[in-house]
Amino acid sequence: MTKQASELNFPKECSYTKTHEWAKVVGVEVLVGLDDFAQDQLGDIVFVEMPKVGAKFKQGAVFANVESVKAVSECYMPVGGEILAVNEALQDDPALVNGDCYGAGWFVKVKADDAAEMKTLMDAGACRASIG
């Protein structure tokens, strides 16, 4: 059962893409994951294919794949940069994305090439408005 738009969580400290990834600056790193709308629409997540540490991606490039009981979806990089860490816990328990998409269900930590790219993302209010 999917949530109503009013039930979805979009923390103010995160920025969002139109494809429903979130990005949050933590010190010199950018933490990235799927937002509440995306995980809710996908349903039960059963597998996450992650990039390798050290891989580099441009903003908007596919960096991960998520498989759910409903579909396989590509995840797009909110900011260009180098992968510093991947959430290894998702290999054993991909359902962490469903349970806590902004916490335990994060995907990657990135060293952004250009911090100004964060300004091209939506804030929580714009993200909520984009889904109705």
Domains and CATH numbers, the chain: 14-111 (2.40.50.100)
Strand order in the sheet with 45-49: 45-49, 62-68, 72-76
Give CA–CA dist 2/17, Å, rounded: 20
**pLDDT per position as a tens digit, 21-79:** 999 999 999 999 999 999 999 999 999 999 999 999 999 999 999 999 989 999 999 99
Confidence of residue 19 (pLDDT cuts 50, 70, 90): very high
10 has pLDDT over 60: yes
For residue 72, list its beta bridge partners.
Answer: 67
Amino acid at 101: C
Give CA–CA dist 88/90, Å, rounded: 5
* pLDDT cut 90: percent of the chain above it: 91
pTM of the entire structure?
0.95
Residues in the chain: 132
The secondary element (H helix, E strand) that includes residue 42 is helix 36-42
Of the candidates 87, 65, 91, 89, the one whose C-alpha atom is nearest the C-alpha of residue 76 is 65
For residue 85, what pLDDT is reported? 98
Give CA–CA dist 16/75, Å, rounded: 12
87 has pLDDT over 70: yes
* pLDDT cut 70: percent of the chain above it: 99
Give the mean model confidence (pLDDT) for residues 82-95: 97
Tell me the average pLDDT of the chain: 95
